[in-house]
Amino acid sequence: MNWLERMFPVVVCVAMLLGLAGAMRPRQDPGPMDLEALSQIPVMHEGRVKPIEAVARGTLSVLRARQSIRTDRGEISAVHWMLDVLTQQPVADDYPVFRIDDPNIKYLLDPGDLDQKYFSYNEITAHRENLLKQFDQANATPAENRSTLQRKLMTLSQNVSRYMALAQYESILPIPPVGNKPSDTWRTLDQTIQSVRLGEKTPEALGYLSTILSAYREHNAEQFNHAVHGYLTYLRGVLPESQLHKSRFEALYLQASPFYWSSIAYVFSALLVLVGYLVWRKPLLETAWLVALVTLGLHAAAIGARMYIHGRPPVTNLYASAVFVGFITVALGLFIEFFHRNGIGSLVAGITGFLSLVIAHNLSTGETMEAMRAVLNNNFWLATHVVVITMGYGATFLAGFISILYIIGVWVTFGQLSPEVRKAVTRMVYGTVCFALLLSFVGTVLGGIWADQSWGRFWGWDPKENGALLIVLWNALILHARWGGMVKERGVHVLAVGGNIVTAWSWFGVNMLGVGLHSYGFMDKALSYLVLFALSQVVLMVMGLFAPAWNVSSKAGASATVTTST
C-alpha cells in the first residue's frame, strides 16, 4: 500500500470533521438584535424547563413539520417567528405555518388550489364556518370510530389551538420562581400580572420580559439587546447555575442539529463502500469504515447530550428509541466490519444509521424530551429493560438488513457470489441473531419484573409483551432451524428478513396503533408505512426463496461431483 492509499482515509475524515464543525456552528439571525442570546433564556413549557429555542422549534415543527419558515422577508428562524407571534400577531397570522396534506381539508379551504401545502392562520379562519361544522361532527364521534378525514381535522384543530395558546401567552410560563416555597412556581405572564394587581410586588422578570417584547415590537435593537443580557444576568441570581447551563447547552445542541449531520455522514459512508466495490477497493472501504466510525462518535455524543439535558437514560420515547436503535446497528455493523473487512458491515451500518435517523425525524412531534409518563418515571428500569430490549431491536434489524443486502447481491450478480462471501455473510447473520436472542430474552424478562412492580403481575399478554415474546421466539426459531438442519444458507437469510417484520410490529405497531398499555396513540401515517414496510420484507423473502445463487451453486456442486467421480 503506497502513501496515498494510507493517507487518503485520514485526509477524508479530517476534511469531514472540519466540514461538520463549520456546518454545526450556531448561526445568528441576520440583523442587529441578539436573538441567539434570547434563544437561551429558560422558560417552563409542557412540564419541562427548556430554552426559548426549544419552544420555538418544537411548536413550529408540530405546525409546519419544519423548523424555519419562508416569508415575504425571506427565510426566518423559529425564534424569529415566535417573537412575531408574541408581539406582532396580525403580521404572524399571515405566515403560512400550518401544513395540510389532506386534499379534502384543502378543498374546504380553497377549492381552486389543491396544490397548496402551507396555510396561514387567516386563511384557515376565513373558512371558519365550513370547518366548524366538520370539527363539531368529528368531535362528537368517538375517537375509535373517526374517519381518516375526521382524525386529520382534529389534528388541525389541535394545531390551531396550540398556535392561539402561544399567541395569547398561555402555553409558556416565562416567569421563574424567586423563592423556595412550594407555592413558588413558574407562572404565565397573565398569572403574574393578576398577582401584581392583587398587591404582589412586581417581579423583576416581568419588567425585563415586557421590555424585551416591546423593544422587539418597536424594532429597537439597542434596548432589546440590553434587556436580554440584563435578564440573563438577573437569572443567574435566581435560578440554579446547572439549570441555566442546561438551557444554554440545549439551545446550542438544537442549533447544531447533530443527528441531521450524522445522517448525511452515514450516507457518505455507504456511498464510499459502493464506489469501493467498483474502483480502488481497499482504500475506499477503509475510508468508509473510518468515516462511519467518526460519525458513530458524533451520534454517541448527540445521545449523550440528550441524556445530560433530559437527565434520563438514552431511551425514553419512540423518537429516542429510533435514535438509539440506529446507534446500536451502526456499532454492531462496524464491529463486524472490523473483523471481516469486506465492506458489508460498513455498508449496512451506513444504511441503517441513515434510515434510523430519518425515522426518528418523522417520529418527532416537536418535543422529543417530554415529561415522563408516571409508569416510565424510573431511571433504573429505563436504563435496564428499555435499553436492553432496544438493543435487541437493533441487533435483530441488523441481521435482517445484512440478509437483505445478501439477497439483493445474489440477484444483482445473478448468483455469482463466491462461496467465501456467502459463508462470511451467513456467519455474520448467524452471530448477530445469537446476540439479538440474548438481548431480546434478557430485555423481556427485565420488562416482566418491571411490570410486576408497576402493575402487580409479571405477564399479562399485553400486545407489547406479545411483541417482545415474538422477537425472542423468532430469533430462537432461526437458530433451532439452523441447528436442526431444517434450513441452510438460504433459509437463514429468508428468516432473518422475516425478523424485520416481527421487530417492526413490536416496536412501532403496538406503540402507534392505539392498543395495549404501551400505546402512544393511533397514527394513520404510521400504519400505512408499517404495512408498506412489511410488504417490502415479504417481497424480499420471496426473492430470497427463488434467488439464483442456490441454483447456480447446486449446478456447480453437481458438476464438481461428476468431475470428481470421473
Residue 370 belongs to a domain: no
Of 348, 363, 378, which one is at a domain's C-terminal end?
363
206 with 295, same domain: the answer is: no
266 with 398, same domain: the answer is: no
39 with 146, same domain: the answer is: yes
CA distance 223 to 239: 24
CA distance 506 to 493: 20
User: Above 90 in pLDDT, residue 155?
Assistant: no
The pLDDT-based confidence of 111 (bands split at 50, 70, 90) is confident
| Average pLDDT estimate for 69-78 | 84
431 with 482, same domain: the answer is: yes
Closest C-alpha to 117, from 131, 99, 104, 92:
99
| pLDDT at res. 506 | 86
Closest C-alpha to 90, from 150, 6, 167:
167
Which residues form the domain of 413? Answer: 386-566
Q: C-alpha cell of 559?
A: 458438476
| pLDDT at res. 358 | 92
268 with 119, same domain: the answer is: no
> 185 φ, ψ to 5°?
-130, 170
User: Above 90 in pLDDT, residue 494?
Assistant: yes
Residues 507-562: tens digit of each pLDDT: 877 766 666 666 665 566 677 788 899 999 999 999 988 877 544 444 444 443 33
Give the helix/strand (H/E) hosting 50.
Answer: strand 48-51
| Average pLDDT estimate for 433-442 | 94
357 with 397, same domain: the answer is: no
| Average pLDDT estimate for 85-114 | 86
Of 205, 223, 246, which one is at a domain's C-terminal end?
246
> 22-31, 41-50, 150-159, 200-209 — which is least confidently predicted?
22-31
Give the pairing of strands 48-51 and 42-45.
antiparallel
| pLDDT at res. 562 | 35
Of 246, 273, 293, which one is at a domain's C-terminal end?
246
User: DSSP letter at 488?
Assistant: -
| pLDDT at res. 551 | 44
| Average pLDDT estimate for 234-251 | 93
Residue keyed to cell 425525524: 361
| pLDDT at res. 525 | 65
Three-state secondary-structure class, residue 291: helix
| pLDDT at res. 507 | 83
Residue 522 belongs to a domain: yes
Residue 333 belongs to a domain: yes
CA distance 88 to 35: 16
| pLDDT at res. 561 | 36
Distances (CA, A) of 371 to 40, 111, 177, 252, 376: 20, 41, 19, 21, 10
Residues 536-551: tens digit of each pLDDT: 999 999 998 887 754 4
Residue 118: strand pairing partners? 99
- How many CB atoms sit inside 10 A of residue 2's CB? 8
Residue 226 belongs to a domain: yes
| pLDDT at res. 521 | 55
562 with 415, same domain: the answer is: yes
532 with 487, same domain: the answer is: yes
The pLDDT-based confidence of 289 (bands split at 50, 70, 90) is very high
CA angle 442, 338, 304 (to 5 degrees): 55
| pLDDT at res. 268 | 96
User: Above 50 in pLDDT, residue 563?
Assistant: no
| pLDDT at res. 558 | 41
User: Above 90 in pLDDT, residue 564?
Assistant: no
Residues 380-403: tens digit of each pLDDT: 777 888 889 999 999 999 999 999
User: Above 60 in pLDDT, residue 63?
Assistant: yes
220 with 276, same domain: the answer is: no
Residues 132-143: tens digit of each pLDDT: 888 888 888 887
| pLDDT at res. 72 | 78
More confident residue, 71 or 263: 263
Could you give the number of structural domains in the chain?
A: 3
258 Cβ contact list (under 8 Å, min separation 6)? 24, 298, 299, 301, 302, 305
Q: Return the percent helix, strand and coil in the chain, to nearest 5.
A: 70, 5, 25
Residue 68: strand pairing partners? 77
Residue 475 belongs to a domain: yes
Residue 341 belongs to a domain: yes
Residue 129 belongs to a domain: yes
Considering the chain, what is the average pLDDT of its residues?
86
| pLDDT at res. 415 | 67
Residue 500 belongs to a domain: yes
| pLDDT at res. 463 | 78
519 with 399, same domain: the answer is: yes
| Average pLDDT estimate for 142-149 | 80
More confident residue, 71 or 187: 187
- How many CB atoms sit inside 10 A of residue 526's CB? 19
348 with 473, same domain: the answer is: no
Type of residue numbered 367: E
324 with 236, same domain: the answer is: no
Q: Are 190 and 178 in contact (CB under 8 A)?
A: no
| Average pLDDT estimate for 262-278 | 94
Give the helix/strand (H/E) hosting 344.
Answer: helix 344-363
* Residues above pLDDT 70, as percent of the chain: 90
